[in-house]
Structure 1
Amino acid sequence: MTRQNTESPASLPAAPQQLTRQHFALYRGYLNGVDEAQLHASYGDACADVRSTRRLIAVLRDTFSVLARRARDTDSAHLIRLRPGSIPDAASAESAAPTLEAFRERVDPDGVYSESELLALYCEEFPAGASPSLDRRAARNARLRRRQADALARMEANLVQDPQRDHPVDGWFEPPIAARLAAAGLVTIGDVIAKIEARRHRWYTDVPRLGPTGAQRIVDWIGLHAPALGHSLSRQALVPRRQWTAEMLSESAGNGIDVLAVAPLEALRVPAALDGSKGTNRARFSTFDTDLHAIQAWLDARSASKHTRRAYRREAERLLLWALLERRKPLSSLTEADCAEYVGAFLADPQPAARWIAKGRFERCLSGWRPFAGALSDRSRESARSILTAMCEWLVQAGYLAANPMNGLARASAPPVFDAHGRSLDLEQWWFVLASTEREVYSYVEHRDRMALLLAYSTGLRRTELSAATTDALSIGRLSGVEGPVWRLAVENGRSKDRSVLIAPSAMEMVQENLEMRGLPDALLCPDGTPLLAQARGGQAITPDGIGKLFKRIFMDAGVLLEKSTPGAGRRLAQSSTHWLRHTHSAHALKHGAGLHEVSRGLCHAVLSTTARYLLHEDAGQFLGIEG
């Protein structure tokens, strides 16, 4: 009599397309009597329960038996189907003897043995009384167990297949997972490995409908088969970017690349012949050992803010890489002719494009990173020339270079004419934008966006300064000639020119309301580091890019409203950006009688003439000594 299978055919998993060593390890553990829960923990699907492993065992039993019969290995076909416990050990001989029918149900539910074989097994396991044949039975059972293990090993040797990088994914992964990988262009296992190494920890975002859990299962599978695939995933592919150590960052960016390939400054491995230690333009008593050390010292000394440092590093990095790769010389050996060609020709068309221009946005730690997004405009080339001239001049003054090779280079473009009127809003436009954010009842986001608009207009802060503004920087006091308390916001810019700006009462009122909406106390009692402009979820500060998008959305919405009432008038609002609010603040403040020096301090301008550009043309001309 055979036991009926209570599983419906539809509920049973399909037979694996490829039999792996893990399948045989699972079934070997099953035959050895390992608990199903332990088998599931070791070999099962982490996203399913133990029933999935139980069903897989049933499928493997049928699959192994069928394949053994096809190979005319009848002995293996019988042995593979023996359940755990059907081959007893010596200790089981002393157990109470069951009925023959119960013994058949336990030992041979599929009817593999004949009556005589089954009876022989029964008599051996449950003799009529104590018998000295116990040792013989134990030896017989041990032989049977060995035969069973040998049969499984023989099948494993003939049937198992290790995955290879050129194997299609649909032969190794479940059909739904394989379909999602194929939809992303990942046809082979090698494609999947390349994607993981290129995109790192969040590679799965390029695969439709594949989340982090499914991605982790694939990564674990690749790790399990690393010897067969001939590839172990890098540490950087397994760890989120924010958890990388300095060593991992260097390994990832450099990736073992020699100097004749593009790499960021922090990963560049420069051979001694090109490191600048013997540069032809070195000062007699040089302060620094190599070009990299000199550039790092310049960045540390001259770029106090991270944004300035990023811009300075970009230009120094490009020039150094160009010198090494195109001129085959260190930066400290560049001549004026080299620099003229770099600014005049190379920056206008970085070639070869495959070496210099990225095909998309890549982090500096990724292999697809390149120093350029495309050819530079005349204005960008002029900015690069200006920065590099200042860098080389600093290196001359610091005793590293003997002469400045950038001196004497012609401007790449004329300095732009600042047009305050063309990049600011007049009073009517400003009031329209402000009115477009007014609501009878505000959601948190609507209230925060209106508050951001008032803060930017009343203070003239840059978006990076708005992003960094916290309640810690707020203070309240008195101001001569002004009734009531006056709120100020301290602003740090890293240039030893920290300042404070006044906050309009209407803006400060909204700040207090917004803090209340976030469940926070009065502005002066908030926890340290509480951002003024916070994200709706989590309460973290909005990034500078996020603030830029916030204002762009406000201007776009206002432009749509204005376009409905006055066709053509909304286009100007749609062109506005965060910096327009800074221009608008300055132009309106000066127009309403604010002092030039006061506005200049609030804007943190280095020279007064910069602020004077916000004056009306005739007023600016009088201030600068220019005839209108």
Structure 2
Amino acid sequence: MTSDTARGSQHLASGAAATSADAARLRTPSRLTRQHFALYRGYLDGVSEAQLHASYGDAGTDVRATRRLIDALRDTLSVLARRARDTEAAHLLRLRPGSIPLFEPSPAAAAVPTLDDFRERIDPDGVYGESELLALYEEEYPPNTSPALDRRVARNARLRRRQAEALARMEASLAQDPRQDHPIDGWFEPAVTARLTAAGLTTIADVIGLIEKRRHRWYAAVPRLGPKGAQRIVDWLQLHAHALQHSLSPLVLLPRRQWGPEHAALARHAAASENDALVMAPLEALRVPAALDGSRGSNRAGANARFDTDIRAIFAWLDAHSASEHTRRAYRREAERLLLWALLEKGKPLSSLDGREGAEYIDTFLPDPQPASRWVSARRGERHVSSWRPFGGPLSDRSRESARSILSAMCEWLVREAYLATNPFAGLARAASPPVFDSAGRTLDLQQWQTVLQSVTREEYTFSEHRDRLALLLAYATGLRRAELAAATTDALSVGRLRGVDGAVWRLAVDSGRSSPRTVLLPPVVVDALEENLALRGLPGPLACAAGTPVLAQARGGQPITPDGIGKIFKGIFMRAAAILDARAPGSGRHLRKVSTHWLRHTHSTHALGHGAELREVGAGLGHADLSTTSLYLQQEDSGRFLGVEKLIRHASRPKKHS
């Protein structure tokens, strides 16, 4: 038995019931796979049921399930052998282990252990085959030979050989390999088949497609199928990956937040050989033939650069210029698209592109990537699936301008690094005029802010309601990005004094990776809300919490909320506030329905500056490297920003008096 078979067979799926000639109905496989025969071969070889269950059994069951499967296989094989008029196989395959001993000790050899006892002592893990084990046994305990004993040994050896041959005949005629176009009926348990069918899945290909589309929570689309049942189906698909000619990526069932650069499925491949076919793949998995890898590109500055191929040059640029993961993804996307276009459309390495081709890429290809079947994905897909494509559709003028700017900066850096001789994007006209920043159009006015804050204010809160209010207060008071909100932890908090402010002042350290670390101020109303939220979680005060305690936590388990989860929280808040405005005056909530998390950053800046906060201090809190960016919010000391935001929050939180 190979280790692959032993591991993979742990989750064999049994099908419909079959009836033996003279017994009650038993749960038997309606399709016999090679793993079923491997299990029964181990049983006939005398492997213990406990070991067979450990190697072949379902992890969610005990040894009794494997014992029942063995009994069902014995009856099924016997019935099928009789139907095939193979009487010998029908008889031999029903013989239980021990009924054909390979060696029978004489009565005088009472102290000599049995072969089974010898196996347990010498080979508990089942490493040796029967012939090897027998040779070791006879070497340690030479048999007392006699003509009668020799005849019995020879007879039993013949019977064991004929038994093995009978099982091989049955396997050759009955064992089936699954194919993607096979109906799921017969390959999975009837109950599982019914659940998959209820979800509209009729073939194995349908199941594979759903898994790749929905990823790690694919089973949520199948009624009454939980994670354990889903895992058994996935294990079965991985076991039969060769026969199905499809392997699920290890990342299909792993949440994106658990992906790491060290994951094997994301590892960079070595350069391909001259004969390897070039196929569409993301940058980290792209295999480029040596003739196209850029080592001999016509636009190379020379052979003395720190990197010798286009892919290595791109990764070096990404490592040098990606201060944050968000920036790295944006830069990688543009470099990846250009490299693939050069390889697949122009048939040359990126380091052979010239100015004319740079203009063609920006002005002709990006507005309409063709052929669409090669470049455009029909639906959003993860990078590790075979259907991945680098585009979601044609690029707008603003997106093309972003691509031009990023690629020109990349090639200029490669020129400075003596990798490229010239920048193919140098002097290329802008694809679009820079957008005019409209802070007013993406900011909540005071009345809208008051409506939003009042929409999350309650007399009594559930945990989720209180958490959402804390998130809103924290975002408005600090101007943090959603990724920074998601990453905020209590060990980043500190307490100090601030000139012009009575009482202690709380600060939150922020390290987004975009710029140098900074701190933001937390008004007392935000600190009060945080202390209340921690109490709801059964935690002590902010400074007494364990390291890594998230400021904003999930309702179940207290785990950090992802940046996407933060966005969903705010989208729900704004939609509910919009409904309140619409109830007062139909159509008045239209503006709030367009609000995103980033609008709170604009609102924080505009309100703080409007209340007299200093431009330099607001820019520092936002993490702006250039004050010209902060000045876009205009229509001056830390204490002005701190006290102004606190006053706006408390005013908006005050319940309105109704006449």
Report the Cα distance in structure 2 between the residues aligned to 1:408 and 1:521, rounded to whole angstroms.
60
Q: How does 1:151-230 map to 2 (within 5 A)?
A: 152-153=166-167, 156=170, 159-165=173-179, 167-180=182-195, 209-218=224-233, 220-221=235-236, 229=243
CA contact (8 A) 1:490 1:501 kept: yes
User: 1:418-452: CA deviations, max 9, x gaps?
Assistant: 22222111111111111111122222221111111
CA contact (8 A) 1:253 1:264 kept: no
Question: Which of 605, 621, 633 is the equivalent residue of 1:602?
Answer: 621
Amino acid at match of 1:457: Y
Change over 3 Å in CA distance of 1:545–1:57 after alignment to 2: closer
Change over 3 Å in CA distance of 1:439–1:282 after alignment to 2: same
Report the Cα distance in structure 1 between the residues aligned to 2:320 and 2:410, rounded to whole angstroms.
11
Change over 3 Å in CA distance of 1:605–1:53 after alignment to 2: closer
How far 1:573 sits from its partner (Å)? 1.5
CA contact (8 A) 2:293 2:349 kept: yes
User: 1:182-232: CA deviations, max 9, x gaps?
Assistant: 6677655577678878988777667665444334444555666677x3869
Change over 3 Å in CA distance of 1:368–1:505 after alignment to 2: same
The secondary structure found in structure 1 opposite 2:507 is: strand
Question: Which of 486, 498, 502 is the equivalent residue of 2:517?
Answer: 498
Amino acid at match of 1:363: E
Report the Cα distance in structure 1 between the residues aligned to 2:43 and 2:407, rounded to whole angstroms.
70
Partner of 2:323 in structure 1? 304
The secondary structure found in structure 2 opposite 1:13 is: strand
Report the Cα distance in structure 2 between the residues aligned to 1:395 and 1:373, rounded to whole angstroms.
28
How far 1:357 sits from its partner (Å)? 1.4
Partner of 2:282 in structure 1? 264
Residue 556 in structure 1 maps to residue 575 in structure 2: yes
Question: Which of 494, 498, 512 is the equivalent residue of 1:475?
Answer: 494
Report the Cα distance in structure 2 between the residues aligned to 1:542 and 1:196, rounded to whole angstroms.
24
The secondary structure found in structure 1 opposite 2:633 is: coil
Change over 3 Å in CA distance of 1:11–1:292 after alignment to 2: same
Q: How does 1:84-483 map to 2 (within 5 A)?
A: 135=149, 138=152, 142=156, 145-146=159-160, 149=163, 152-153=166-167, 156=170, 159-165=173-179, 167-180=182-195, 209-218=224-233, 220-221=235-236, 229=243, 233=247, 236=250, 240=254, 242=259, 245=262, 247-250=264-267, 260-283=278-301, 287-288=305-306, 289-483=308-502
Report the Cα distance in structure 2 between the residues aligned to 1:423 and 1:15, rounded to whole angstroms.
65
How far 1:457 sits from its partner (Å)? 0.9
Amino acid at match of 1:350: P
Change over 3 Å in CA distance of 1:216–1:284 after alignment to 2: closer
Taking only aligned residues, the RMSD between alpha carbons, in angstroms, comes to: 4.0
Report the Cα distance in structure 2 between the residues aligned to 1:276 and 1:136, rounded to whole angstroms.
73
CA contact (8 A) 1:236 1:252 kept: no
How far 1:71 sits from its partner (Å)? 4.0
User: 1:49-87: CA deviations, max 9, x gaps?
Assistant: 444444444444444444444444555555555666777
The secondary structure found in structure 1 opposite 2:519 is: strand
Report the Cα distance in structure 2 between the residues aligned to 1:610 and 1:238, rounded to whole angstroms.
40
Change over 3 Å in CA distance of 1:336–1:175 after alignment to 2: same
- Once the two structures are overlaid, the 10-residue window that deviates more, 197-206 or 22-31, is 197-206
Change over 3 Å in CA distance of 1:92–1:429 after alignment to 2: farther
User: 1:220-256: CA deviations, max 9, x gaps?
Assistant: 55666677x3869578479957478455423789999
- Once the two structures are overlaid, the 10-residue window that deviates more, 338-347 or 255-264, is 255-264
Residue 487 in structure 1 maps to residue 506 in structure 2: yes
User: 1:274-325: CA deviations, max 9, x gaps?
Assistant: 3334444444686443333333333223221221122122112222222222
Amino acid at match of 2:294: G
Partner of 1:509 in structure 2? 528
TM-score (norm 1): 0.78
Partner of 1:112 in structure 2? none
Report the Cα distance in structure 1 between the residues aligned to 2:412 and 2:147, rounded to whole angstroms.
99
The secondary structure found in structure 1 opposite 2:387 is: coil
Report the Cα distance in structure 2 between the residues aligned to 1:327 and 1:59, rounded to whole angstroms.
61
Change over 3 Å in CA distance of 1:198–1:274 after alignment to 2: farther
Change over 3 Å in CA distance of 1:419–1:167 after alignment to 2: closer
Report the Cα distance in structure 1 between the residues aligned to 2:631 and 2:240, rounded to whole angstroms.
68
TM-score (norm 2): 0.74
- Once the two structures are overlaid, the 10-residue window that deviates more, 33-42 or 522-531, is 33-42
Change over 3 Å in CA distance of 1:198–1:40 after alignment to 2: same
Amino acid at match of 1:349: D
Report the Cα distance in structure 2 between the residues aligned to 1:285 and 1:86, rounded to whole angstroms.
74
Residue 565 in structure 1 maps to residue 588 in structure 2: no
CA contact (8 A) 1:90 1:134 kept: no
**Unaligned runs of at least 5 residues, structure 2:** 1-19, 109-145, 636-659
The secondary structure found in structure 1 opposite 2:330 is: helix
Amino acid at match of 1:249: L
CA contact (8 A) 1:80 1:151 kept: no
Change over 3 Å in CA distance of 1:92–1:554 after alignment to 2: farther
CA contact (8 A) 2:89 2:167 kept: no
CA contact (8 A) 2:478 2:520 kept: yes
Partner of 2:609 in structure 1? 590
The secondary structure found in structure 2 opposite 1:605 is: coil
How far 1:349 sits from its partner (Å)? 0.8
Residue 18 in structure 1 maps to residue 22 in structure 2: no
Partner of 2:651 in structure 1? none
How many residue pairs get aligned? The number is: 571
Report the Cα distance in structure 2 between the residues aligned to 1:402 and 1:26, rounded to whole angstroms.
64
The secondary structure found in structure 1 opposite 2:494 is: strand
CA contact (8 A) 1:181 1:207 kept: yes
The secondary structure found in structure 2 opposite 1:298 is: helix
Report the Cα distance in structure 2 between the residues aligned to 1:299 and 1:593, rounded to whole angstroms.
40
Percent identity for Structure 1 against Structure 2: 63
- Once the two structures are overlaid, the 10-residue window that deviates more, 185-194 or 321-330, is 185-194
Change over 3 Å in CA distance of 1:441–1:39 after alignment to 2: same
The secondary structure found in structure 2 opposite 1:567 is: coil
Amino acid at match of 2:347: R
User: 1:395-427: CA deviations, max 9, x gaps?
Assistant: 334444343332332222222222222211111
Partner of 1:103 in structure 2? none
- Once the two structures are overlaid, the 10-residue window that deviates more, 404-413 or 476-485, is 404-413
Change over 3 Å in CA distance of 1:454–1:10 after alignment to 2: farther
Report the Cα distance in structure 1 between the residues aligned to 2:154 and 2:547, rounded to whole angstroms.
77
CA contact (8 A) 1:253 1:267 kept: no
- Once the two structures are overlaid, the 10-residue window that deviates more, 252-261 or 376-385, is 252-261
